Amino acid sequence: MTSLKIGSLNCRGLSEEVKRRDFFSRYRKRYDIIILTDTHCTKEKEKQWAHEWGYKAFFSSGSSRSRGVAILIKNSFTFTIHQEKKDQEGNFIILDMTIQDYRLSLVAIYGPNGDSPTFFENIKGLVSGIKNSSIIMAGDWNVVQDFDKDTSNYSAKNNIRAHDKILDMIESLDLVDIWRALNPDTKRFTWRGPGLKQSRLDYFLISSDLEPFVKNVDMDISYRSDHSPVYLTLQFYNQIKEVG
């Protein structure tokens, strides 16, 4: 039996060492795997950050002022990385991995700020190419799932074409917005902006075969960011089918 707690948060830049070490210390205690977006890490700093983290770390780095994605993994469980796919702009990382006996694709997403359907079309192609039936995707998507339920004080819908591509990916890969599935009518938000704007930009999409293993999915307390972390706890009782 394997319990796994995955956290995802937009950290709003960790180039400042004091803030970075504070974040690592805080979330190392909370999660087994951490997906970070908006890291502001550079390729030159990746080894230093990995050393400060103290365990295994994967990066897709942007600049010291924008973008950047990381997946930080603790040594609290046994895992194997079969392959890694990422872009060079700090927008996504895809890990084909086995956690003990469980094979899955773990995807870190930092969606473009603008309406970019080709980005999500590319993600769909890369994930489907790995051919794992079990998929966990998380991050700051910069796109809501349901405009009525997932936004507050917005004057108009935005990123509509990207939204439609995500819906297409959900259908194609048999994914579920697991927090919404368990909270069908709840209005809660992960991002707070100017003019009292709020939206649920950070969430997990998981393959439907993982739904029986979900123990908990929720939002955490915001800390030194305008985003709240989201987290997913899985309790595996039966082996997820390996690719064969």
pLDDT (tens digit, 9 = 90+) per residue, 137-184? 999 999 999 999 999 999 999 999 999 999 999 999 999 999 999 999
Mean pLDDT score of the chain, rounded to an integer?
95
Portion of the chain with pLDDT greater than 90, in percent: 91
Classify 28 as helix, strand or coil: helix
Averaged pLDDT, 58-74 = 96
Give the integer Cα–Cα distance in Å for 53 and 224: 18
- pLDDT tens digits, 79-126: 999 999 999 999 999 999 999 888 999 999 999 999 999 999 999 999
CB 100 within 8 A of CB 77: yes
Q: Which residues are annotated as a binding site for Mg(2+)?
A: 10, 140, 142, 226-227
Taken in order of first residue, the domains within the chain and their CATH numbers are: 2-236 (3.60.10.10)
Contact 231, 173 (CB under 8 A): no
pTM metric for this prediction = 0.95
Cα separations in angstroms, 61 against 28, 66, 92, 138, 154:
21, 9, 9, 17, 31
Q: Say if residues 114 and 150 touch (Cβ distance below 8 Å).
A: no
Q: Across the chain, where does the E strand assignment appear?
A: 2-10, 33-37, 56-60, 69-73, 79-86, 92-99, 102-110, 135-140, 151-152, 175-177, 191-192, 198-199, 202-207, 214-219, 230-236
Binding residues: 10, 140, 142, 226-227
Instruction: Give the C-alpha distances (Å, rounded to integers) separating 177 from 81, 147, 148, 242.
Output: 25, 14, 15, 23
Q: So which residues are the catalytic ones?
A: 110, 140, 227
